[in-house]
Amino acid sequence: MSQRITILPETLTNKIAAGEVVERPASVIKELIENSLDAGATDITVEITGGGRRRLRITDNGHGMSREDALLSLERHATSKIKVDSDLDCINTLGFRGEALPSIASVSRFTLATRETGAPEGAEITVEGGRVRDVKACGMATGTVITVEQIFFNLPARLKFMKSAETETGHVADVIARMAVSRPDVAFLCTSDDRELLRLQRSDLQRRLAQVVGRESSQHLYPLQGTDEYVTIAGFISGPALVRSGTQAVYTYINGRFIRDKVVQHAVMQAYRGVIDRGRYPVVALFIELPPGEVDVNVHPTKHEVRFRRQSVVHDAIQSAVEEVLRSSPWLPEAHSAPPAPGGAAGQTYRERIAAAAQASLSLPPRPQYRSQPTDRSFPAATPPVHTGTVREPEPIFVPQEPQPESTGYFSALSIIGQFHSEYILCQSGSELVIIDQHAASERVAYQLLKTQCRSGAVESQRLLFPETVELSFSEVAAAARFSEALAGIGFELEPFGGATIMLSAVPRLIAEKEPALLIRDILADLDQIGTSSAFNEMLESLLSRIACHSVIRGAHPLENRQIRQLLQNMDQTDFAASCPHGRPVSHVITLAELQKIFKRT
Ligand code: ADP
Ligand code: MG
């Protein structure tokens, strides 16, 4: 008889469990902050070095542990938070699995120092790769200090997946921000390589949110409160003036626990349908309170997912609470005074619209003052982009190009019939009717221009008269730092502006008039997903195409003959004018024979 099966040693099972809970420094910090909060801490300090890869430390002023409990806490499935089966049905702590400490300790060099309230001294336990090396008494304040060094030192496969220190720092700050929103009554301090990254004093939810999502963004938030006998929903949501490129600023909590749940997310997005564009996300902090028995958090080790007993009731409650705030629309007067949609301005000439836009911009509120930054905080030095003046001035819809020598290509040779629906250009070439999609054509021309500029060094950039601050997530700020040099090559000049805010001081000239902050927000959300500069190069074409797309006015737009002529000439200078960068056709030809067939003249 053979015996193939053995029970694994605990150091190995802990390592396996760590695979689920400990993905990166930020996930360690999430677990440790949960423990601190469960221990009643009101002050939590997080210090990281090298993005937490080299070292991270969490200090709290919670109730601490006795020496015996501290030793026990490192055992698998050791917890003070549940005791019997039925406790699983009414969890009211953030932790309950008893897995975090042994998992973390099994994949790092780990020190736990803790002193229980009322105890004369603390205890310090040193663990290496899951094995206890030393236990000794220590002097310390009441509370707990956990130090994690060289995470994954004994798990090389995981080590390889860690990103740069900057990226990991961004994730750490995002995790702290998420938890800090749920507990404005707790003070958080986070330092990275001895520099202060986040300092959040005890305050109320509104102030805490302002610190986390940015002061400017917080001015577009509206309170929400909804209660029925089953579920209570409270928090803040943004009006349509404030959108993000992803779900980074959708903070949803069930019974105080941050969660990413499809049902909740869907309910929120349903409420915003028709209010914000597709692919845009609001800024939301929603606290959903349910009887603990109505929601199961024991779904995944990271506890980010939940199951609802009555899913559709929760969904509908959230949707209608959000809808109610949106319907009462404190932002509607603003929307009415917004410039008319392009389609509605068909009667206006281009010049009239520019004049109207200029007039409108005069009545805009003053932009925030920006302060100068100490040099050591700025992103890596970038090759200065080519600036072309500092004053924003009205710019024609189409790519402004130096007067070109008369071009003699196919498009320049067309005779212009006119414009159809302010969207299409009609031309004649011999016995052919040529229809050009003016939007696709200008996009193509802009794309070509950007590509040429990029090839010859850098995209032409324009310094903004009023640098714009852009509020992001911490990971996106890290992406901005990582790619600042590459972004300068495509015309964007960015600097850190403190917290999760950057300052945009120069942008590709083609989009200087076109709300560049929107585009850089999208670009940084994408760059946040990629790690290396080689990936940036792979993305370059699509980035240029997005800048081109952003540079062009959408929809109907009346054009003067002179502008049409200019566009046709520019089209001849592009090497592939047949389709726009998205692959849609730019022009379409109807022959005389085809027309004759339609009119049954053949
Ligand atoms: P869980 O949080 O699921 O119980 P952990 O492995 O995270 O499991 O922690 C084990 C136990 O250690 C906790 O139940 C708690 O009693 C104790 N503990 C952990 N961290 C702290 C802390 N910062 N302060 C006080 N007690 C703590
Ligand atoms: Mg825990």
What's the CATH number where 432 sits?
A: 3.30.1370.100
| Minimum CA distance residue for ligand 1 atom 20 | 35
Whether this prediction's pTM lies above 0.85 is answered by no
In this prediction, what percent of the chain has a pLDDT beyond 70?
85
Q: Does residue 197 belong to any structural domain of this protein?
A: yes
**pLDDT band (50, 70, 90) for residue 538:** confident
CA-proximal residue: ligand 1, atom 25 (nearest): 64
Are residues 481 and 531 both part of a single domain?
Answer: yes
**HEC profile for 203-229?**
CCHHHHHHHHHCHHHHCCEEEEEEECC
| Position 364 pLDDT exceeds 70 | no
345 has a pLDDT exceeding 80:
no
Q: State in Å: Cα 291 to ligand 1 middle.
A: 24
Same domain, yes or no, for 182 and 234?
no
Given 293, 328, 363, the domain boundary residue is 328
3-class DSSP assignment, residue 398: coil
The answer on pLDDT for 44 being more than 60 is: yes
Is residue 337 a part of any domain in this protein?
no
Same domain, residue pair 546 and 483: yes
End residue of a domain, out of 202, 232, 255: 202
Residue 385 lies in a domain: no
User: How many structural domains are present in the chain?
Assistant: 3
Cα 371 to Cα 595: distance, rounded to the nearest angstrom: 64
CATH code for the domain of 58: 3.30.565.10
CATH number at residue 310: 3.30.230.10
Q: Are 288 and 254 in contact (CB under 8 A)?
A: yes
Its domain, for residue 527, covers 398-602
CB 437 within 8 A of CB 424: yes
C-alpha to C-alpha distances, 76 to 10, 85, 103, 130, nearest whole angstrom:
8, 17, 8, 11
| Domain annotation covers residue 378 | no
Q: Is residue 5 part of a domain?
A: no
Report which bound ligand comes closest to the CA of 116.
1
- For residues 223-246, average pLDDT: 89
Residue 106 Cβ < 6 Å to ligand 1? no
Which range of 62-66, 216-220, 539-543 scores highest in mean pLDDT? It is: 62-66
What pLDDT was estimated at residue 226?
A: 86
pLDDT confidence of 580, banded at 50, 70, 90?
low
CA atoms of 36 and 176, how far apart (whole Å):
12
481-514 pLDDT, tens digit each: 999 999 999 999 999 998 899 999 999 999 988 8
Q: Atom 13 of ligand 1 has which residue's CA nearest to it?
A: 79
Q: Is the pLDDT of residue 377 over 60?
A: no
Q: Please check whether residue 366 lies inside any domain of the structure.
A: no
Q: What is the pLDDT of residue 577?
A: 55
Q: Which helix (H) or strand (E) holds 356?
A: helix 350-362
pLDDT at 349 over 50: no
Residue 236 Cα, ligand 2 centroid: separation in angstroms?
Answer: 28
Residue 51 pLDDT exceeds 70? yes
| Lookup: tokens for 74 | 């490192």
